[in-house]
Structure 1
């Protein structure tokens, strides 16, 4: 079952910065800036880092979780570093203009470039690389394999 918050203050949220070309003077692009927090491997030994920004749906997070669970299968441990807090609304197809904002369709996590999505520990590097490559295949944007930095 996909992740979602137990309770929210508001059922619907605004989209954030513009997600495409707009008619206004400034073009902001999909998601501005790099991840300020959550951009290093903190819990496991290896991680999957997003190289692009966007919305990561709860279904994609669940698909990655299932892939990691099947691959790890009792040897190591995995960590999910993102949670879908944002409700994404949609209006049904072939609906006339007006009549307000649509109903929430799914939940998504807002991901900035550089954010760690998944971590894995207790496996050798080759196995962890293979596991996270399978998870990266299911993500909607480019990702890379990163290792924990040595602590000083």
Structure 2
């Protein structure tokens, strides 16, 4: 008696693990997160005043470099802890323009209410003071002589 023919056994097929593909995908995503900002980063140093990050060591120096590179109306002293800003006035045109002073204020993140108070001061008010986190300011504002502000970093 003959036995019926059986089909030959199927060769053993090994299933591949998805783990190497998952690891590869994770590496691609991480590389994209790290490299893409560096390749396509926006160097915004020349886009006007940018707020000074809290981690920067010399915010007053940064303000001078951004807003008064010719040092026409600013003076750093006391190991870059004190910045004197001299705004232009009617009889004293030497000094910073109002837009340059505003640039310094924006860079140092002077609160708007304090900046308005500085601009609104008159000679009869004398020397006034104010502060915001990390800084103290003392100023006088005379229409003829201009706004003079001394900012001290705490």
TM exceeding 0.5: no
TM-score (norm 2): 0.27
The structure having more radius of gyration, on CA atoms, is: 2
Using CA pairs below 8 Å that are at least 6 residues apart, which structure has the higher relative contact order?
A: 1
Give the strand-richer structure, 1 or 2. Answer: 1
TM-score (norm 1): 0.28
Give the helix-richer structure, 1 or 2. Answer: 2
